[in-house]
Amino acid sequence: MKPAVVISVNVNPEGGVPKNPVEYAFLRKSGVEGDRQNDLKHHGGPNRAVCLFSSEIINELRKEGHPIEAGSVGENLTISGLDWDVLQPGSQLNIGEALIEVTGPAPPCRTIQNSFVKGNFSRISEKKNSGWSRWYARVLIEAQVHPKDTVIILECQ
């Protein structure tokens, strides 16, 4: 079995989406360096410092006809090979030298509607389609992350 890896590290220094791929980013407790959120009521802060999404889910959504790409729904880290179904609040992930803890699903909003047929951004709502959501995480150990960094689940509570 291939290890899970970071496929893309994504940021947008001006805020909003899409988040564009970069060579690396530093995960800080306050958020991803070089990234900005326009709506701090619903995004960002220490418990939503990093947004994660699955490249396999992106591929499945593309098969459904959605024009989604890595970073287009606002995730900072696009990950391949991770069993998305086992993630839950409290799951800890070692990503390169960083350590993060999943805090909860990232609710979708209208700003990502262009990544979905007929603007159906609720397609990745955890409430409506469990297992298809992005996840938010807090940073426990700050470090730089790169594409191809290995992702290891350390703990699932």
In Å, what is the CA distance from 66 to each residue of 51, 99, 124? Answer: 20, 32, 11
The tokens for 34 are: 């070089």
Domain that holds residue 10: 4-155
Which CATH number goes with the domain that contains 51?
Answer: 2.40.33.20
User: How wide is the angle at C-alpha 126 spanned by C-alphas 92 and 40, nearest 5°?
Assistant: 75
Contact of 98 with 143, CB cutoff 8 Å:
yes
Residue found under tokens 């999404």 = 53
**Is the omega angle on the peptide bond into residue 18 within 30 degrees of 0, that is, cis?**
yes
**The model's pTM:** 0.95
Q: How many domains does the chain have?
A: 1
- Encode pLDDT of 81-124 as tens digits: 999 999 999 999 999 999 999 999 999 999 999 999 999 999 99
Q: pLDDT above 90 covers what percent of the chain? A: 87
Pairing of strands 98-106, 134-141: antiparallel
What tens digit of pLDDT does each residue of 7-37 get? Answer: 999 999 998 899 999 999 999 999 999 998 7
| DSSP H helices in 36-131 | 55-63
Residues ≥6 apart with Cβ < 8 Å to 4: 79, 80, 81, 82, 150, 151, 152, 153
